[in-house]
């Protein structure tokens, strides 16, 4: 788990991406990026039951409009996560185009009606804070594996940009 300075995404379009490798998932929420307090701004995998090759799961991109008490949330269709295999995950938010999530450069969730901007920011990689303290250990939903090449952009990445990034990791030897 890595704590980072809050990223100023309030009122902006944004995109997030990372390479993840699940190692020992169990059913439940596992955070790729999280906020300082429980479930306010997240990019996560909600793992389901084990399968022959790994675990079924859903990618979730969510942010909150604290001033309006709203959760803006997109959940993907079920996808297969193979234990020990690197995959590229990405999520985008646009006040014009809504929310989208991608697995290995392929769209796996889209809702163009989710256009209310966030008033929060990400502060954790690999978990989410639970809001009690800012202590590094005060987290939950720790990701059960490796996370690499995390990027957060203050704009919506295009489909072709995401597809290209999913094909060419910066550290190709590790994939």
Residue 169 makes CB contacts below 8 A (sequence gap 6+) with: 19, 86, 88, 148, 149, 175
Q: What does the pLDDT read at residue 46? A: 87
- pLDDT at position 172: 47
The predicted pLDDT at position 86 comes to 93
Name the pTM for this structure. 0.84
- SS3 label, residue 88: strand
Q: What single string gives the DSSP state of each residue in 5-54?
A: PPP--TTS-EEEEEEEEESS--SEEEEEEE-SSTTSSEEEEEEEEE-SSE
User: Is the confidence at residue 149, as pLDDT, over 50?
Assistant: yes
Top mean-pLDDT range of 40-49, 113-122, 123-132: 40-49
- Among 114, 133, 112, residue whose Cα is nearest residue 124: 133
Q: What average pLDDT does range 17-46 have in this prediction?
A: 81
pLDDT for residue 42: 75
Write down the pLDDT at residue 148.
93
Higher pLDDT, 116 or 20: 20
Each residue of 39-87: pLDDT tens digit?
566 788 888 877 777 778 888 887 666 556 677 777 888 888 888 899 9
Q: Which parts of the chain fold into alpha helices (H)?
A: 159-167
pLDDT over threshold 60, residue 147: yes
pLDDT at 103 over 50: yes
Distance CA 161, CA 138 (A): 35
Burial of 92 (0-12, 13-18, 19+ CB in 10 A): buried
The pLDDT score that the predictor gives to residue 145 is 92
Q: What integer best gives the mean pLDDT of the chain? A: 80
Within a 10 A sphere around the Cβ of 37, how many other Cβ atoms?
16
Average pLDDT over residues 146-172: 87
């Amino acid at each position: 788990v890595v704590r980072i300075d809050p990223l100023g995404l309030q009122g902006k379009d944004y995109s997030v991406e990372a390479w993840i490798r699940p190692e020992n998932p169990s059913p439940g929420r596992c955070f790729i990026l999280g906020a300082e307090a429980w479930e306010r701004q997240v990019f996560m995998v909600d793992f389901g039951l084990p399968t022959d090759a790994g675990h079924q799961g859903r990618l979730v991109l969510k942010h909150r409009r604290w001033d309006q008490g709203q959760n803006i949330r997109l959940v993907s269709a079920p996808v297969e996560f193979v234990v020990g295999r690197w995959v590229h995950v990405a999520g985008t938010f646009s006040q014009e185009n809504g929310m989208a999530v991608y697995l290995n450069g392929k769209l796996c969730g889209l809702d163009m009606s989710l256009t209310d901007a966030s008033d929060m920011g990400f502060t954790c990689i690999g978990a989410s804070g639970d809001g009690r303290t800012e202590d590094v250990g005060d987290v939950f939903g720790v990701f059960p594996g490796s996370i690499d090449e995390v990027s957060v952009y203050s704009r919506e990445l295009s489909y072709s940009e995401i597809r290209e990034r999913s094909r060419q990791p910066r550290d190709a030897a590790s994939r």
